[in-house]
Structure 1
Amino acid sequence: MSVGEEFFNRKKAELGVSLNDVQKRAVLNTEGPLLLLASPGSGKTTTLIMKIGYLIEVVGLDPARIKAVTFSNASAHDMKERYQRFFSTLPPVEFSTIHSLAFQVVREFFYKRQIQYHIIEGTDPAPFNKKMLLRDLFKTFNQKAITDDQLEELLTYISLIKNKLLPKEKWSSISCDVPNALQIFQKYERFKRSGADQLLVDYDDMLTIAHQAFEKDHALLTKYQRKYDYLLTDESQDTSLVQHAMIEKLVQNHQNLCVVADDDQSIYSWRAAEPQYLLDFKKVYPDAQILMMEQNYRSSQDIVSVANTFIKQNKNRYNKNMFTENAAYVPVKLKTLSDYQYQANYLVEQIAKEENLREVAILYRNNASSILLLDALDRAHIPFYMKDANNRFFSHWIVEDVLNFMRLSYDATRVDIFERVYSKFHLYLKNSHIQQMKQQPNSETVFDRLIKLTDLKDWQREKIAICRKHYKQMQRKTPFQVILLIRGEFGYEKVLRNMSEKLGFNIDYLLEVLNTLEEIAKSTNSMVEFANRLDHLASLLKTSKYNRQQHAVTLSTFHSSKGLEFEKVYMIDLIKGVIPSQTEEDKLKEGKREEMEEAVRLFYVGMTRAKRNLELLSYSKRFGKAVAPSKFVLDVKKIVHPEKVHHHAAHKTTILKTTGKGRKNGIPDNPNAINDPAKLQVGLKIKHRVFGTGEITGLTEDTLEIRFKKYSKTLSITTCLEHKLLEVVE
């Protein structure tokens, strides 16, 4: 028996851990570079820990000379805990993030050069606070306060430039929707280095400075190269160029490197992840071995086969074939609801039947999807854990605007409240008008004071009079009616559209916030109750983090769900424009596949979180507008129900063979007829041979709803396609 087999047998007896052939090969490969491509649920962490144990127990490496680099502190902790459980008698091994390693290097590099520095991440006061510094710089360049969303985008923009190691002359090649983003970044970089006493350093600087240190200080690099005999990196599909470059330098001499990754799960390119690096691994390490861990131990046969077929539409990937020996359980379920407003209630009804909520997850692309969910779950007394507890919905400026509109109705003399929203009334008021108002008697309403101003136009006075009339009636209205009033009569929605055009805001997202507030308002009876409801939900969102590992359903974005697994997974809001986004579709039309391929990978990550139950949810209408299902839902539908597609194709062949002159039962053949069910989408304008021109307003697996001029019809998809009854109206 070989020493390897002896090791595996011993560990199987001690731990009950049994490795498959590829996992064993990965453990036994102890010299030179190794790329280990690990499909979802393939046991990569177990394999990594077993490999470390083998390096120590069999190869004889000193544990202190093994370095394991992980993507996050959480995964470093998880690996450390599992190592201690598997090899409790062995000395510790160093598990850390790449940032932690970089910090060690930077600290030593600066100490040798007697350079003072201050880390500006965290909650220190200005100017030692990165976010406060960027807020101040934004205000300097744009004469207004930055929104939370803009700040998040600016932070991502800065991180992207640094992690890609872009030189100054190429900074402008990175686009950012934040006004004057490049100028803010340039000023930010100058400011951090302008202090006479010390440098200001952020987390991204740690990486770039550590990389520079290795290039400039040969002695320092040599020290770290000699410090480790073997390096392992986990989740390397999420690693940026600067991080890859640091690892390359560390293993330059001995090349003893194990890179664990899955190119099919690379979903952070917007955060500078470089999946192409994995595809070019042999160019960097010509002698590298590449092993594919394709066996999935997590999911049922139904889920694995669908996900494996789905991901193959991507071209820029390793040709892997994920498989499982797990039995089939239930097919992947596709559910199309008639309207978005039914989605949250449907989920509540389904989840209320579950006994173990810890094994249920609801996944979505955007955090905005979670708000109505947590409202519905709370009303149904279903506990939940929100993975992304930093959701900023309830602090969004639109929420504050709506509440200020409402607050004014309780005391219309409050100039201080009116001053916060006067620019949102679509009245074209100036700050000078507000200052004039403040000189008038406090007992009058803001609208009475406004009408007295001499420099207003007649149309402005007319609109102010209308606003005054509505404000007198507002407390008799429901919160839902009040929001409609704010959007329409007060002109708030027009203001939002104008702001979006001028400032580059995403108007669809802003309207989404408004629409969500409307839905929450429908279940409240007064403006005070509505405001209290928002406060309650905001508090629930913050405290939901304490429900982790409790009897609670998990809510998470697709991005944050990576690494998790659940018995039952619902993927929701699967409509065109959300996933893939309109930008991703537009890029694909331009011949740029990168963003669409990442969207495919993101969807794949969501699907592979499920063990035995996976349900994909879409709908036909959203806030009164027809919407189309996600292209990815249609892709999955073809995989799950191939017989329907094949049936239509086969039937078409039969007609061609048997109709002779293009007729069957006296019905003329229509060469322009729709014959592919995937082309049927909500919102598509079609012509029906019998009923005329209409628009598809609803879809299920078997039927479609079409609104014609005078009526709507629910028709069989099979019948329409077999008899060539539909064609697209151009």
Structure 2
Amino acid sequence: ADLFIQHNKARHDKHMQPTKDAGSDINFVELKTRSNQYGYLLKVAANCNRETAVLYRDNESAIPLIDSLDRNGINFRIKSVDMAFFTNRVVTDVTNIMKFALDPYNTELFMRIYFKCQTFLKKAQAERMCRISEQQEIPVLDAAEFVDSINGMVKGKCRALATHLRGMLKENPSKAIFRIETPLGYGEYLERNNIDDNKLFILRMLSFNESSIGSFLNRLNYLQNMLKAMKPDYSSNFILSTIHSSKGLEYDRVFLMDVCDGVFPGNMIRSGSSSTPQERKEFEEERRLFYVGMTRAKNDLSIFTFKSEDSCFVKEMRTPVRKKSSTAETVKPQAVAKPLKSLRDKPFDGMMNSPVTVSDFDLIIGERVIQNVNGSGTVSDVIYDDDGNIKKFSVIYDSGEEKQYHFPAAFAGGMRLESGEEVPIQQKKRPSASLKPSVIHEKKPEKKKRPAGKDTYASWADKYPNHVVIKKEGAFWTTRGESAEVLSRVLGYKLGGKPGNYVTGSPAIEPIVHGLSSHEINYIVIEGGEIVDQEDFE
């Protein structure tokens, strides 16, 4: 469990230590498909002579198992019952389509489903069909033939839908669900609207024991009413529970269900920087939930894996974690205390002291920060480099706006923790390019001609009239003196130049360039005493 949770970088560097000696190894139960876990657990429940808990992320995962246990007369205890599955929009859509197949004259059902089954009907046309159906007492889909505004292609779609619905009456409900998802286009409707299709899987599992869509609909109603009226059977050793409901509890033996990508975790993050801070935050929350599930077992933990499904969580459990490098032991306390102030007071000597993150400091997701321009906000994401040091972080401000910053540049630029805790910055001396003072203070070299149409640094100053703009090529412009003061705090060196004037070719350019390099920044834009824009090196 400790090995697994170490993959979460957005947490304190801490380790979980067991309070008793190691017992049995984790048992990975490899099955062919996800549907096979229900039969496996049914056998476990039938011969359960010790405390056994089946844990899952969402209540719906247990519904097919509950159905099997009830059909076989096996007692079980369920810790919490959530009826949301039966009223979910996907379940409602599927059952409405089945009900319309049984009652093709039902105009109310038709108006709920026609746009989800690739009929390409306009609302006005669907309403006209309903009126004709009621007037002539004919099936709603047949009424399409009498609406002049419906073209031949759409009428063909209506005929095909009617044919599929009639076919559903003659087949078992599992085939009917396949018809709804694929030929009728409901699966595409879910995909277009970014709706999770896991409910279809649960419905298919429930449909295998029924012979018609009528009996299937009756079974859904029965399960809903049974769960609503169910009371805990404390005499049963076989316990069903969500992981959330099991927090703070322990069981002799634990099975974790549905551990596969797209179910648990529900949403996979995209690789690299393409995932948003919110997506990464949600993914890490699922990792923490999985950790809770793992640590509910006193003696035996079994996790289902499936040949037909991938699981990033199972993969991580088998992958060693690259440990953060720790340089805190080599940092002297006096080197950490207020490094920027002492650096600004020193004259430039050809060496650049660049701020580097102290490795033992960790910025925690959920921590509150204050920034002079945007106000108060909450840290929503923290990004680490390969050595485990903080590289960037994101803040969601109370206004709802989310911004990403470099660390520790943002704190050197005026941001602070709401708690008042000081953010340490280690100063590490590094040589700059070999520069002779005589060369630095020489008169400016003759300017080279620029290619036609290429932006000049002056155009940057025009674009940002109230900013200071720094480019890595070695020049900066400022139109506000206080902005230069902020840059001094970021770089650890006091800038030259007169407030209110464009400044270029300053002796401070070299340390600026090295300072930007140490922060992996391409350019910085400062306004009102705060960094408002910055870009990484390519």
Q: Which amino acid aligns with 1:564?
A: L
- The structure-2 alpha-carbon separation of the partners of 1:437 and 1:552, relative to structure 1 and needing over 3 Å to count, comes to farther
What secondary structure is seen at the aligned counterpart in 2 of 1:426? coil
- In structure 2, which of residues 83, 88, 94 is the aligned counterpart of residue 396 of structure 1? 88
Kindly state the Cα deviation for residue 329 of structure 1 after the two structures are TM-superposed: 4.2
Cα distance in structure 1, aligned partners of 2:224 and 2:191: 27
Alignment partner, residue 248 of structure 2:
563
CA contact (8 A) 2:269 2:275 kept: no
Alignment partner, residue 414 of structure 1:
106
Could you tell me which runs of 5 or more consecutive residues in structure 1 were left unpaired when the two chains were aligned. 1-306, 501-505, 622-626, 640-730
Q: What is the TM-score with the length of structure 1 in the denominator?
A: 0.40
What secondary structure is seen at the aligned counterpart in 2 of 1:340? coil
Q: Map 1:376-455 to 2 at 5 A.
A: 376-440=68-132, 441-455=135-149
CA contact (8 A) 1:607 1:614 kept: yes
- In structure 2, which of residues 14, 35, 56 is the aligned counterpart of residue 319 of structure 1? 14
Cα distance in structure 1, aligned partners of 2:291 and 2:283: 12
CA contact (8 A) 2:119 2:154 kept: yes
Alignment partner, residue 293 of structure 1:
none
Q: Which amino acid aligns with 1:323?
A: P
What secondary structure is seen at the aligned counterpart in 2 of 1:476? coil
Q: Deviations over 1:154-213 (max 9, x none)?
A: xxxxxxxxxxxxxxxxxxxxxxxxxxxxxxxxxxxxxxxxxxxxxxxxxxxxxxxxxxxx
- In structure 2, which of residues 311, 322, 332 is the aligned counterpart of residue 629 of structure 1? 311
Q: Deviations over 1:604-646 (max 9, x none)?
A: 211111111110111122xxxxx2123x32343468xxxxxxx
What secondary structure is seen at the aligned counterpart in 1 of 2:239? strand
Alignment partner, residue 239 of structure 2:
554
CA contact (8 A) 1:566 1:609 kept: yes
Cα distance in structure 1, aligned partners of 2:191 and 2:269: 23
Cα distance in structure 1, aligned partners of 2:122 and 2:161: 17
What secondary structure is seen at the aligned counterpart in 2 of 1:377? helix
Kindly state the Cα deviation for residue 539 of structure 1 after the two structures are TM-superposed: 2.1
CA contact (8 A) 2:114 2:121 kept: yes
Kindly state the Cα deviation for residue 538 of structure 1 after the two structures are TM-superposed: 1.4
CA contact (8 A) 2:42 2:69 kept: yes
CA contact (8 A) 1:486 1:492 kept: yes
CA contact (8 A) 1:362 1:555 kept: yes
Q: Map 1:519-534 to 2 at 5 A.
A: 519-534=205-220
Cα distance in structure 2, aligned partners of 1:417 and 1:578: 30
Q: Map 1:616-655 to 2 at 5 A.
A: 616-621=303-308, 627-630=309-312, 632-637=313-318
Alignment partner, residue 572 of structure 1:
257
CA contact (8 A) 2:251 2:296 kept: yes
- The structure-2 alpha-carbon separation of the partners of 1:579 and 1:325, relative to structure 1 and needing over 3 Å to count, comes to same
Q: Which amino acid aligns with 1:322?
A: Q
Kindly state the Cα deviation for residue 584 of structure 1 after the two structures are TM-superposed: 4.5
Kindly state the Cα deviation for residue 371 of structure 1 after the two structures are TM-superposed: 2.2
Kindly state the Cα deviation for residue 535 of structure 1 after the two structures are TM-superposed: 1.0
Kindly state the Cα deviation for residue 404 of structure 1 after the two structures are TM-superposed: 2.0
What secondary structure is seen at the aligned counterpart in 2 of 1:567? strand
- The structure-2 alpha-carbon separation of the partners of 1:438 and 1:311, relative to structure 1 and needing over 3 Å to count, comes to closer
Q: Which runs of 4+ in 1 moved over 6 A?
A: none
Alignment partner, residue 495 of structure 2:
none
Q: Deviations over 1:225-270 (max 9, x none)?
A: xxxxxxxxxxxxxxxxxxxxxxxxxxxxxxxxxxxxxxxxxxxxxx
Kindly state the Cα deviation for residue 337 of structure 1 after the two structures are TM-superposed: 0.9
CA contact (8 A) 1:568 1:613 kept: yes
- The structure-2 alpha-carbon separation of the partners of 1:429 and 1:481, relative to structure 1 and needing over 3 Å to count, comes to same
The sequence identity of aligned pairs, in percent, is: 31
Alignment partner, residue 470 of structure 1:
164
Cα distance in structure 2, aligned partners of 1:513 and 1:378: 20
Kindly state the Cα deviation for residue 575 of structure 1 after the two structures are TM-superposed: 1.9
Cα distance in structure 2, aligned partners of 1:539 and 1:600: 33
**Bigger radius of gyration among the two:** 2
Could you tell me which runs of 5 or more consecutive residues in structure 2 were left unpaired when the two chains were aligned. 321-538
Kindly state the Cα deviation for residue 596 of structure 1 after the two structures are TM-superposed: 5.1
CA contact (8 A) 2:52 2:252 kept: yes
CA contact (8 A) 2:130 2:140 kept: no
CA contact (8 A) 1:478 1:524 kept: yes
CA contact (8 A) 1:339 1:619 kept: yes
Alignment partner, residue 497 of structure 1:
191
Matched, 1:349 2:349: no
Matched, 1:514 2:514: no
Count of residues in correspondence between the two structures: 315
Q: Deviations over 1:465-484 (max 9, x none)?
A: 22223333432121122222
Structure richer in helix, relative to its length: 1
Q: Deviations over 1:103-134 (max 9, x none)?
A: xxxxxxxxxxxxxxxxxxxxxxxxxxxxxxxx
Q: Map 1:186-335 to 2 at 5 A.
A: 307-315=1-9, 316-317=11-12, 319-326=14-21, 328-335=22-29
Kindly state the Cα deviation for residue 556 of structure 1 after the two structures are TM-superposed: 2.2
Q: Which amino acid aligns with 2:40?
A: Y
- In structure 2, which of residues 53, 57, 65 is the aligned counterpart of residue 365 of structure 1? 57
CA RMSD of aligned residues (A): 2.7
Kindly state the Cα deviation for residue 520 of structure 1 after the two structures are TM-superposed: 1.4
State the structure with bigger RCO (CA 8 A, min sep 6), 1 or 2.
2
Q: Deviations over 1:392-411 (max 9, x none)?
A: 11111222222222222333
Structure richer in strand, relative to its length: 2
Cα distance in structure 2, aligned partners of 1:551 and 1:517: 27
Q: Map 1:100-179 to 2 at 5 A.
A: none
- In structure 1, which of residues 437, 458, 465 is the aligned counterpart of residue 152 of structure 2? 458
CA contact (8 A) 1:587 1:595 kept: no
Q: Deviations over 1:477-532 (max 9, x none)?
A: 2112222222233222233333x1xxxxx43x2x2112221221121001121011
CA contact (8 A) 1:361 1:566 kept: yes
- The structure-2 alpha-carbon separation of the partners of 1:308 and 1:474, relative to structure 1 and needing over 3 Å to count, comes to closer
- The structure-2 alpha-carbon separation of the partners of 1:490 and 1:314, relative to structure 1 and needing over 3 Å to count, comes to closer
What secondary structure is seen at the aligned counterpart in 2 of 1:547? coil
Cα distance in structure 1, aligned partners of 2:179 and 2:65: 25
What secondary structure is seen at the aligned counterpart in 2 of 1:450? helix
CA contact (8 A) 1:352 1:382 kept: yes
- The structure-2 alpha-carbon separation of the partners of 1:557 and 1:435, relative to structure 1 and needing over 3 Å to count, comes to same
Alignment partner, residue 409 of structure 2:
none
Q: Deviations over 1:539-588 (max 9, x none)?
A: 233234x1153415322222221111111100122223444454446578
Q: Which amino acid aligns with 1:380?
A: N
